[in-house]
Structure 1
Amino acid sequence: MKILVIGPSWVGDMVMSQSLYISIKQEHPNAELHVLAPAWCCALLERMPEVDKAIVMPLGHGDFKLFERFRLGRQLKAQNYDWSIVQPNSLKSALIPLFSGIKKRTGWKGEYRYGLLNDLRSNKRSFPLMVERYDALAYPKAHMIDNHCLPNLPWPALTVDQKNQQLAVAELQLDTSRPVLSLCPGAEFGPSKRWPEQHYAEVAKQQIEQGKQVWIFGSAKDITVAETIRHSLPAALQSNCHILAGKTSLHQAIDLMALSAMVVSNDSGLMHIAAALQRPLVAVYGSTSPKYTPPLAEQVAVVHTNIECRPCFQRECPLGHLKCLKDLAPQLVINAINKLQERE
């Protein structure tokens, strides 16, 4: 069997999608699995041993471009896929499998996809977690009545390239003699997911004083936030705080984060990477909820406030106060770190 998966476009979603790929290979051990995804997600796919081939999606997120989708579909037709699974819910994401002539096309009901998908699932509410919705697509429709019908849900588990890891340590002139606290203060979703920089700085200060060093991860968009955290530390402690935001590839970020003794992260793609690496993790939630996209790992502490307006799932605070994040005191995260350390 040859299978084409239309993968998600966001880093966190792509990490969670590994559960689907694991289940596909468990159900069909001899299947050849290809995943079509944006270029920025391919580094993740390369760290998933279940994926036999990553295919770069040439269209940008949100681009419809019907003719280009048709052309790509006709190119992929030569692969003679037996089955396609469409993870995104958009209409446009279901077009390429149709144009590829794939006979069985599986996905969730969404955006008038009748006819585009012929193995359509409509009981999404029976699977409250996003990862469950992904994983359910690996199994026959008749078996997927609710999430209790899922076999043991496999958690994402990214592989680490130790050679690449050591090269990254040398390239960035990092010293691993002190335990590493990794901070992930960014979030592509929007400001309603970002815990304040000053709160991160207080945690960093306390942990450096306890003998750790701090590595701040993120994209180039997070450099300003990372610099604010570092500059908020007392001058004597700043040498133990290293800004990696904007300096690493995704491959390098995965390998370096694997060296963490502890990770503190917003609800973001990096949070899911840390979980998939099974690093001790404190996950900070603002406008979103761990009831939908929890970090999937054993050593996890989830912290959030309990104000009435959360979770609102908005990119920006509709009330303009961001209390769900501002009122989440640094000491709560420090307490969570201490409890995780006690378990080890």
Structure 2
Amino acid sequence: MSNEHQLLLMPPNWIGDVVMAQPAMSAIATHYRMHHEHCRITLCGRSWLKELLPWLNIKGAEYASDIPAADTAYLFPNSFRVAWQCKRAGVKKIIGYRGQWRSLLLSQPVRHRIDTRTDHHRLFHLDLARQTGITTGSDRVELSVPENGLELGRAAIEKHGMNPERTISVAPGAQFGGAKCYPSDGFRAVVHALAEKGWQPLILGMQEDRNVAESILEGIGSPAWNAAGETALSEALQLIAASKLMLCNDSGLMHVAAGLGIPTVAPFGATDPERTSPSGDKVAILYEPADCSPCLQRECSVPGHPCMANIPPQTLTDACLNMLEH
């Protein structure tokens, strides 16, 4: 048994994909901690990963902006580049799926047994661990709120004149593209209907979502906060943890909310819930596919965005109220 083993986890490149890889990363970390007296676990990736990591429930894991010369690395991205970077950094054993002309760079090339065109992405990530002899449990995502995270979220809500016991988070954007997005006038109808029932909307998103958020909240008859573009990722996560509901598109924040056990309502259209639905006990997925669904395109090319038009605002409103009132 070695004195210390340095395990490197290279997560996927999008927030939602990182959350879907959480069960696999947790299983790998647990395995190496069990088999090495001292195991240092490092996650390396995009800068926002540092803010997300405390929520990923991977005991003892640390963030690094640069790839360390680790003993073992698990690569969740499928690119040649990440394998080459690990090789150059001096990683001793590199494990990842074959393909992208990178098999010669991998110490252990793993074959593809799960087809992400039909199967869930969580299973694809878990199979990387399973094919290297690691025992995994369920594919359930289990995130955790860092110390003081909930308190900080509630305090921020109260600072903006809102009641945390009546606050609902709304995320009308999606980084991948507009094809995933429910129409803003539909979000407006739902949010206003919920406000009439005494619920107070908090809009989350990027700076580019701010104008849409303003249009959604225009004329709202309850306390509200347009936080789009105002929060760091860590602050947005705190606000989600302190909310009573998340209403959102298929997005990274959807996966976070569901993984935290926050009641989550999400319309799907361009993407397939069989492949990317969130993991959680309190999830309502609305999917009324059009003939072109799931197109997996960034932007809709069909007049009227039929996959989203098939989901009336009243249906979304009812799903939210069912979550909030039970």
Residue 169 of structure 2: aligned partner:
182
Partner Cα separation in structure 2 for residue 338 and residue 183 of structure 1:
14
Counterpart-to-counterpart distance in 2, 1:212 and 1:286: 26
Aligned counterpart, 1:95: 84
What residue in structure 1 maps to residue 8 of structure 2? 4
- CA–CA separation in structure 2 for the residues paired with 1:178 and 1:34: 37
Partner residue of 2:41 out of 33, 44, 67: 33
For the residue of structure 1 that corresponds to 2:17, the secondary structure is helix
1:110 pairs, out of 70, 74, 99, with: 99
What residue ranges of structure 1 are gaps of 5+ in the alignment?
58-72
Aligned residues: 313
Q: Give the TM-score normalised by the residue count of structure 1.
A: 0.84
Displacement of 1:119 after TM fit? 1.4
**3-state DSSP class of the match of 1:92?**
helix
Cα distance in 1, alignment partners of residues 78 and 89 from structure 2: 18
Counterpart position of 2:199: 212
Write the mapping of 1:168-247 to structure 2, written as runs, cut at 5 A: 168-169=156-157, 172-176=159-163, 178-231=165-218, 235=219, 237-247=220-230
Sequence identity of aligned pairs in percent? 28
CA contact (8 A) 1:281 1:301 kept: yes
What is the aligned partner in structure 2 of residue 288 from structure 1? 271
Inter-partner Cα distance in structure 1 for 2:211 and 2:205? 10
Q: Does 1:336 align with 2:323?
A: no
Are 2:141 and 1:155 equivalent residues in the alignment?
yes
Letter in 1 for 2:93: K
- 1:263-313 CA-to-partner distances (Å, cap 9, x unmatched) read 111000111111121101111112001111111100111002221110010
Q: Does 2:128 correspond to 1:137?
A: yes
Which stretch has the larger CA shift, 30-39 or 193-202?
Answer: 30-39
Instruction: Report the Cα offset of residue 320 of structure 1.
Output: 4.2
Structure 2 segments unaligned to the other structure (5+ residues):
none
* 1:107 aligned counterpart, secondary structure: strand
Partner of residue 14 from structure 1, selected from 15, 18, 34: 18
Let me know the Cα RMSD of the aligned residues.
2.1
Deviation at 1:337, TM superposition (A): 1.9
Task: Quickly say closer, same or farther: Cα 1:307–1:140, change in 2 above 3 A.
Answer: closer
Alpha-carbon contact 2:114-2:127 (below 8 Å) kept = no
1:211, distance to aligned residue in structure 2 (A): 1.2
- Letter paired with 2:300: C
Distance (whole Å) between structure 2 residues aligned to residue 46 and residue 56 of structure 1: 15
Q: 1:10 to 1:126 in 2, by over 3 A?
A: closer
The structural deviation recorded for 1:180 is 1.4
In the alignment, which of 296, 305, 320 is matched to residue 313 of structure 1?
296
Q: Contact conserved, 1:178 with 1:211, CA < 8 A, in 2?
A: no
Tell me the alpha carbon deviations over residues 157-179 of structure 1, each in whole angstroms, 9 at most, x when there is no partner.
13242343345335x52422651
- 1:260-271 superposed matches below 5 A: 260-271=243-254
User: What is the aligned counterpart of 1:44 among 38, 52, 56?
Assistant: 52
